[in-house]
Amino acid sequence: MKQVNTIGGQDLREMFAAAAGWLEKSSSEIDALNVFPVPDGDTGTNMLLTMRSTIEEAYRAPDNSAAAVAQAMAKGALMGARGNSGVILSQILRGLAQSLAEKETFTAVELASALQQSAAMAYNGLSNPVEGTMLTVIKDVAAAAQAQVAGDGDDLIPVMEAVVDAASESVANTPNLLRVLREAGVVDAGGQGLYTILEGALRYLRGEMEQMRFRKPQIIVGDIHATKLPEMIAADEIPYGYCTEFLLKGEKIDTGKIKKKLEKKGESLIVVGDEAAVRIHIHTLDPGEVLAYTADLGTMHQVSIRNMDEQHQDYLEMQREKAPAVDTGIIVVVAGDGLTEVFTSLGASAVVPGGQTMNPSTKDLLQAVERVASDKIIMLPNNKNIVAAANQVQSLTEKTIEVVPTKTIPQGVAALLAFDYEANLETNTQLMQKAAAAVRSIEITRAVRATRLGGLEIKKKQPIGFLEGDLVAVGNSTTDVLDQVLARLDLEKAEVITVYCGADAETDEAEQVSGSIREKYPQLQIEVIQGGQPHYDYIVSVE
Amino acid sequence: MAVKIITDSLSDITGDLVGELGINVVPLYVRFGEEVYRDRIEMTTDEFYRRLVQDAALPSTTQPTPHDFLEIYQKLAKETDEILVITLSSKLSGTYQSALQAKNLLEGKCRVEIVDSQTVAMGLGLIVVSTVKAARAGAGLDKLVDFVQRAMARSHLICYFDTLKYLAKGGRIGKAQGFVGSVLSFKPILTIKDGVMSPITRVRSKAAGIDYLSNSAANFPNVEALAVEHCTTPDDAEALVERFSSFFPRERIYRSTISPVVGTYAGPGALAVSVLEAEKA
């Protein structure tokens, strides 16, 4: 096995050049991950441009010592830093350069302490550090390097391996730390970029330049899925005026003072650099005010002011390109967080809250129709009392509306699943109707009062079961009622049973219910989902 | 001198069929960690799927090198002065690029034409089979390039994936991205469109998936060739062949296995049906 005990300036430069090349291969995919701090979709590109400037400057280093090259790289990164991620990357390189000052070469132990310094500098540059971003990744990386060198050996390769592993884990964990990532079902783009850079560096150390030519970096996938549509995320993260960034050159510039002054002028403020050159990045409503202040402190370079609304549009555009090309929008009526997620993750374009005992108005439906970008719309009312309102929408809009008259949640899910991305509106309406008709729907709730219905004597609060909307069973327990309803069905040909637990269903009981189905019908595939719907403790579909 | 035809291992043309057609198949590479294998040559399909399921790390795949193509060009250039290369979709792999680079390295008067089939698996395989027939009928290189381009429009690939796990992890999934991340479990039905994986629809069980595949193939009015492929479940593929034999001569249905390179994304249990429509008179 190859062993590397020290790294000099030349290797340091080549290592980062290789890392930049590696990053380039996935920069567009990293762009598409981007949702934080603003979903503008340019993180990959920004990091790549920053790396290019870093490498260019590295070749201008006065000599080939690690110190000189690291210093040049830090300078190049600062001069060329773009966006939040670029600026943080430049801070990481600055920490590296500080730690390697006056060193001809560096060892594993020195690398580990340099990474500590990088992490400290990265946090330092931000007025409001947020976890679940590349900051967390560099921190985890530094800790992993420290732990590895505390263990054994002088070889730098295992240290870098520990670094890359830690980065990968840390990136996969970012959605757990940052809500907006979780909702978008992505990992942090900056973290992914940093991981890719580190991995590229490791591959260089291992001597894998040849393989790198024919391979691509992997995008890390967290154990998460999107719960919100891109439009919803863009709407949540309210754009903040203009993304303003520039390089300020002068003499004896006081970064602390600038930071303090600009803190109140906007968000995502970053002020980094030294007395001679400072990179400033801020999302502000009034870029003029920011520039007027800094103009007195020195000369401004590479001034970039971008309207973040436009960046938003680009982001949405990019997400649309990523998604299947659909010119048909699907609007569903559903209540409950879990069920909303089910429909959204299956590609519903808009969700109108509603269901049993809370029917949306025609106007609510019409608003959703107007909101969806498509001119052709399929509506899934998912309740028999909402079908009529849905049918009225066509007379109020220019758009073409087809209503697939689903009367239950299982019918709605089956219809949405059967949507054919290649088919036209007419064919899809037929396919979806057919799929809705093929599924059996069971709903279980509790009687609101004592009554006698369809030959059944019902006490108040007793569990009652509906099959296709008809009351068919009453019993002392939910399990009992469900058994009665299932007994009415021919399960010979059934394949999948899905149980959606309601907001009021108790966990113990839900387990009992699903356990009893599993036991009785071992040949079937059983899936239990937290639907969170009101009114019905359980909704069960049999397919 | 007849035109010599080259394709890559993702055409899923294997075994005796390679010899019968008299073509050359350039393998892609499959990598598990540090171990690199030539697709189907140094690692059998069965072995691959066993490791795909068992190994913690996912395998990765790599295109053939330009040198791999150049070697075959040089060998064939001694027998012919016209070579036709038909590769899998350039949007799924750099194989097309390698074939192109090799062409620029080739010296001598042998002409090489390379066509990006925009498809994969037997969707590509059936195009190659049909092109070999045209070549045997005496068509020259230019005519064959034209023939392949028309055949591409007639070739349809429909896949059933038994799991979304590998699709999500493997990257390169094109428009099928929208299928990843559902709360509810389902099995995707996919096709290839404009060279990338594209969603068609979703089913909730394998039985429904097999129904879908057999119905879609049966819907083509005029079928020239038909292929059925599996990854790990030959019985499912046989069930499909059985159904197809009601409208297509059973002995003419091509049977193959989905290449490990595609299997990296498809995962175990995937099935694929390819239909080559007959040319309109």
What residue segments make up the domains of chain A, in order of their start? 7-225, 242-313, 324-438, 440-542
Low-confidence ranges of chain B (pLDDT < 50): none
Residues B12 and B118 in one domain: yes
**β-strand partners of A489:** none
Q: Pick from B153, B170, B199: which residue ends a domain?
A: B153
User: Is the CB of residue A421 less than 8 Å away from at least one CB of chain B?
Assistant: yes
Residue pLDDT, tens place only, A356-379: 878 888 888 998 998 888 889 999
Cβ count within 10 A of residue A86: 30
B11 shares its domain with B28 = yes
What is residue B204's predicted lDDT score, i.e. its pLDDT?
Answer: 92
Of all residues in chain A, the one with the smallest CA distance to B206 is A495
Say which DSSP state B87 is in: E
Strand boundaries in B88-221, DSSP class E: 111-116, 155-160, 187-193, 196-203
- pLDDT (0 to 100) of residue B103: 93
Which fold does the domain A440-542 belong to in CATH? Hypothetical Protein Tm841; Chain: A;domain 3 (3.30.1180)
Is residue A36 over pLDDT 80?
A: no
- Residues B144, B239 within the same domain: no
**CATH number for the domain running over A242-313:** 3.30.70.260
Same fold, A7-225 and A324-438: no
Which residue segment(s) compose the domain that B44 sits in? 4-153
Identify which has the larger pLDDT, B1 or A526. A526
Does pLDDT of A228 surpass 80?
no
> Closest approach of chain A CAs to the CA of B55, in angstroms?
17
Give me the architecture of the A7-225 domain, per CATH.
Alpha Horseshoe (1.25)
Closest alpha carbon within chain B to A321: B175
Is B184 within 8 Å of A529 when comparing Cβ atoms?
A: yes
pLDDT of residue A235: 47
- Chain A residues touching residue B196 (CB < 8 angstroms): none
Confidence check: pLDDT of A226 > 80: no
Which segments of B231-281 are extended strands (E)?
Answer: 253-257, 271-277
User: How far is the C-alpha of A310 from the C-alpha of A322, rounded, in Å?
Assistant: 19
Q: Is B57 part of the contact surface with chain A (CB cutoff 8 Å)?
A: no
B58 and B166: one domain? no
**CB contact at 8 A, A118 and A142:** yes
Provide the pLDDT for residue B182: 77
Instruction: Name the band, by pLDDT with cuts 50, 70 and 90, for residue A296.
Output: confident
- Tell me the C-alpha distance between B22 and A370, whole Å: 59
Mean pLDDT is lowest, of A138-142, A293-297, B118-122, for: A293-297
Spell B30-59 as b/e; 16+ CB within 10 A means b.
bbbeeeebebbeebebeebbebbeeeeebb
What band does A508 get if pLDDT is binned at 50, 70 and 90? confident
Amino acid A542: pLDDT:
94
Cβ of B208 and A495 within 8 Å?
yes
CB distance B184–A345 less than 8 Å?
yes
Q: Please indicate, yes or no, whether residues B147 and B184 belong to a single structural domain of this protein.
A: no
> Can you give the pLDDT at residue A324?
46
Measure in Å the smallest separation between the Cα of B69 and chain A Cα atoms: 15
> Are residue B18 and residue B148 in the same domain, yes or no?
yes
Residue A242 has pLDDT above 80, yes or no: yes
pLDDT at B59: 81
* Contacts with B200 from chain A: Cβ below 8 Å: 420-422
Identify the DSSP state of A142.
H
pLDDT (tens digit per residue) in A373-399: 888 999 999 998 888 889 888 888 889
Q: Which of residues 317-376 of A touch B (CB under 8 A)?
A: 322-325, 338, 341-342, 345-347
In the A/B pair of chains, how many CB contacts fall below 8 A?
A: 86
Quote ipTM for the complex. Answer: 0.85
- The answer on pLDDT for A124 being more than 80 is yes
What integer is the mean pLDDT of A64-83? 89
Highest averaged pLDDT of the listed ranges A51-65, A258-272, A294-308, B234-248: B234-248
Contact A332, A229 (CB under 8 A): no
Which chain A residue has its CA at the smallest distance from B197's CA? Answer: A324
Task: Look up the pTM and report it.
Answer: 0.62
Which of the four pLDDT bands, split at 50, 70 and 90, describes residue A227? Answer: low
Which of B35, B156, B184, B206 is the best mutation test for A, with the most CBs of A within 10 A? B184
CB–CB contact B175 A325 (8 Å): yes
Cis peptide before B59 (omega within 30 of 0): no
Chain A residue nearest residue B167, CA to CA: A221
B208 has a chain A CB within 8 A of its CB: yes
Residue A234 is predicted with a pLDDT of 47
Query: What is the predicted pLDDT for the residue at A288?
Result: 87
Cα separations in angstroms, A238 against A38, A82, A312: 8, 21, 10
Asked if residue B172 and residue B124 are part of one domain, the reply reads no
Q: What is the CATH number of domain A324-438?
A: 3.40.50.510
Q: Which of B153, B186, B209 is the last residue of a domain?
A: B153
Chain B: closest CA distance from residue A346 (Å):
6
CATH code of the domain covering residue B266: 3.30.1180.10
Residue A317 pLDDT level (bands cut at 50, 70, 90): low
- Indicate the number of domains in chain B: 2
Tens of pLDDT along B35-66? Answer: 888 888 888 888 888 888 888 777 877 889 88
- Taking contacts as CB-CB distances below 8 angstroms, the residues of chain B near A432 are none
- Chain B positions touching A220 (Cβ under 8 A) are none
Alpha-carbon distance A2 to nearest alpha carbon in chain B (angstroms): 14
Picking from A321, A510, A347, the residue whose alpha carbon sits closest to that of residue A421 is: A347
Last residue of a domain, one of B90, B122, B153: B153
Subunit contact A496:B204, Cβ cutoff 8 A: yes
Q: In what order do the strands lie in the sheet with B253-257?
A: B196-203, B187-193, B155-160, B271-277, B223-230, B253-257
